[in-house]
């Protein structure tokens, strides 16, 4: 297999971007685009300084560090033809647990012009009901009271910006790369609320010196298991401790609002625009929402790989009906996009055997995903008197997944819900079916007052328990 290795001299690359959250998606998406751009001589001030904030990041920090921060990216073609790239865009890697001051110094460094973020949907610390920043979070309270000893992303960025201002090192852009509607606005709300609560003078400086562009990111990137590491290295002939693999589709649309300059990412396929919203809405409402729709019923039916689930014609029909009947009326196509072709491509992407994404990855952190991907359009469907069948089945499946932790075959599993509250746990444990609709993620809509929804939801809760998820799904797709 031919390895496509970067051709630039890493010794002369300077880091102009600080990225927080050096996970698989960042390394398959933003770092990939940047790696391609660094081939251009006039773009070599845009290397990436990666930052990891969590104790759980120790493994990735150590694995990347022992191989000079290089790693391989396998791009899995839908035609079965894969390509392997060696990526060199990461110039530095800082671990806040080991050296918090180095992170603060880097944020304050005049060479850093952009801070990018992949901190997950839940990482912005917004209340699921009110969408307000939660100042009473214990970690947030610690950082508010101890500015020079931060633990959270908000504390680190606030203190780093404070030091940047003190040194006169100029403005900077904070660019969210997370799957959130209007992620720039969301990011600004979270950071500005925290900073204003901690330091009014700094907040005034940020208003004048920091921009928060909106962006839309897209590339299916599975988690990498130990078996994947062995498989990828066997195929590539490399000895990579931190390989990544992803699909061949990639997209990045960014609002062109960079106060301190930016890379010429448009040279490598990034779209810059004045308004990202139509692209955001299309992607979140169709791709991300369909992933949620697919996840819990598929997992309960016994599927563990997405491409295996997509061999089930009932699941494919369920997703297509959701996209065509429930969602398309609320998704104006962005200029130049054929929505029907986009939906067909999504089905092909989900079915990519070479990627073979994990269903468990799609199930992860539903508490953060439902308010972003499902509830906004569900509110519109309820208002318009739409067919609530598929979403009611999804929410009934989610309840079964959380409550019983058993699939149709009686196979036990663990759930991963890092943002679940003790109150959520009480509602899940309740024997009253309707208490589940009081879960924090659903409170933005009074689901209990909608007769059509409640009737369908109650029916599916009982039927899934008695007949199994797969059997109930068959009745839905007809």
Grade residue 390 by pLDDT with cuts at 50, 70 and 90: very high
Q: 124 and 37 in one domain?
A: yes
Q: 393 and 264 in one domain?
A: no
Whether residue 115 contacts residue 103, with contact meaning beta carbons closer than 8 Å, is answered with no
pLDDT attached to residue 207? 98
278 is a domain residue: no
Q: Distance between CA atoms of 440 and 432, rounded to whole angstroms?
A: 16
The parent domain of residue 21 ranges over 3-273
Q: Of 273, 299, 331, which residue is a domain's last?
A: 273
Q: 295 and 264 in one domain?
A: no
pLDDT attached to residue 128? 81
| Percent residues over pLDDT 70 in the chain | 100
Q: 302 and 265 in one domain?
A: no
For residue 187, the domain's CATH number is 3.40.50.720
Q: 295 and 228 in one domain?
A: no
Residue-wise pLDDT tens digits, 214-251: 999 999 999 999 999 999 999 999 999 999 999 999 99
Within 13 A of 380's CA, how many CA atoms are on the CB side?
12
Pairing of strands 215-218, 251-255: antiparallel
Q: Is the predicted pLDDT of residue 1 greater than 90, yes or no? A: no
Mean pLDDT, the chain, rounded, equals 96
Grade residue 53 by pLDDT with cuts at 50, 70 and 90: very high
pLDDT attached to residue 335? 87
Q: 409 and 382 in one domain?
A: yes
- Element spanning 91, H or E: strand 90-95
Q: Distance between CA atoms of 54 and 63, rounded to whole angstroms?
A: 15
284 is a domain residue: no
329 is a domain residue: yes
CA distances to 368, 421, 440, 446 from 417, in Å: 9, 9, 13, 23
- Of 104, 128, 190, 112, nearest to 154 by C-alpha is 190
Q: 181 and 312 in one domain?
A: no
- Kindly state the average pLDDT of the residues 37-46: 98
For residue 456, the domain's CATH number is 1.10.1040.10
179 is a domain residue: yes
Our CA dihedral for 440, 445, 447, 452, rounded to 10 degrees, sits at -150
> Which residues are registered as beta bridge partners of 83?
75
- Kindly state the average pLDDT of the residues 80-103: 97
Q: 335 and 188 in one domain?
A: no
Q: 104 and 18 in one domain?
A: yes
Q: 37 and 83 in one domain?
A: yes
Which 3 state secondary structure label does DSSP give 1? Answer: coil
| Percent residues over pLDDT 90 in the chain | 95
Q: 294 and 267 in one domain?
A: no
382 is a domain residue: yes
Number of domains into which the chain is organized: 2
Q: Distance between CA atoms of 112 and 107, rounded to whole angstroms?
A: 7
Residue-wise pLDDT tens digits, 273-313: 999 999 999 999 999 999 999 999 999 999 999 999 999 99
Whether residue 343 contacts residue 324, with contact meaning beta carbons closer than 8 Å, is answered with yes
- Kindly state the average pLDDT of the residues 51-57: 97
Q: 224 and 155 in one domain?
A: yes
pLDDT attached to residue 343? 98
Residue-wise pLDDT tens digits, 308-362: 999 999 999 999 999 999 999 999 999 889 999 999 999 999 999 999 999 999 9
Q: Of 273, 298, 330, which residue is a domain's last?
A: 273
């Amino acid at each position: 297999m031919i390895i496509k290795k970067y051709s630039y001299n890493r010794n002369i690359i300077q880091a102009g971007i600080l990225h927080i959250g050096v996970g698989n998606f960042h390394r398959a998406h933003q770092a990939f685009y940047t790696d391609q751009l660094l081939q251009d001589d006039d773009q070599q001030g845009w290397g990436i300084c990666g930052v990891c904030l969590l104790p759980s990041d120790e493994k990735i920090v150590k694995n990347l560090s022992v191989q000079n921060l290089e790693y391989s990216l396998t791009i899995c073609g839908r035609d079965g033809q894969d390509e392997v790239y060696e990526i060199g865009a990461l110039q530095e890697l800082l671990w806040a647990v080991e050296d918090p001051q180095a992170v603060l110094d880097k944020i304050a460094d005049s060479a850093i012009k952009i801070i990018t973020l992949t901190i997950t949907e839940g990482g912005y610390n917004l209340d699921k009901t009110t969408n307000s920043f939660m100042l009473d979070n214990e970690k947030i309270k610690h950082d508010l009271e101890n500015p020079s000893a931060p633990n959270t992303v908000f504390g680190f960025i606030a203190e780093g910006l404070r030091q940047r201002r003190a040194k006169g090192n100029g403005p900077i852009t904070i660019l969210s790369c997370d799957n959130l509607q209007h992620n720039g606005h969301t990011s600004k709300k979270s950071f500005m609320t925290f900073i204003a609560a901690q330091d009014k003078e700094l907040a005034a400086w940020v208003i004048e010196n920091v921009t928060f562009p909106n962006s839309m990111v897209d590339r299916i990137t599975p988690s990498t298991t130990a078996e994947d590491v062995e498989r990828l290295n066997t195929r590539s002939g490399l000895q990579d401790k931190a390989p990544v693999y992803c699909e061949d589709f990639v997209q990045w649309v960014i609002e062109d609002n960079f106060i301190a300059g930016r890379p010429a990412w448009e040279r490598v396929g990034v779209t810059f625009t004045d308004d990202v919203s139509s692209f955001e809405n299309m992607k979140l409402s169709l791709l991300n929402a369909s992933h949620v729709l697919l996840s819990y019923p598929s997992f309960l039916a016994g599927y563990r790989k997405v491409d295996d689930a997509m061999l089930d014609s009932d699941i494919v029909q369920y997703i297509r009906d959701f996209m065509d009947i429930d969602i398309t009326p609320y998704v104006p196509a962005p200029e130049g996009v054929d929505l029907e072709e986009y939906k067909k491509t999504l089905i092909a992407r989900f079915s990519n055997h070479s990627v073979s994404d994990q269903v468990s990855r799609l199930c992860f952190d539903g508490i953060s995903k439902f308010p972003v991907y499902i509830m906004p359009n569900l509110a519109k469907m309820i208002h318009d008197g739409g067919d609530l069948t598929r979403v009611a089945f999804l929410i009934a499946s989610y309840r079964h997944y959380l409550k019983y932790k058993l699939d149709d075959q009686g196979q036990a599993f663990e759930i991963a819900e890092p943002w679940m509250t003790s109150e959520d746990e009480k509602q899940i444990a309740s024997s009253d079916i309707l208490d589940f609709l009081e879960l924090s993620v659903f409170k933005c809509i009074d689901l209990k007052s909608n007769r059509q929804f409640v009737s369908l939801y109650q029916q599916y809760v009982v039927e899934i328990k008695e007949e199994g998820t797969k059997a109930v799904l068959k009745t839905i797709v007809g």
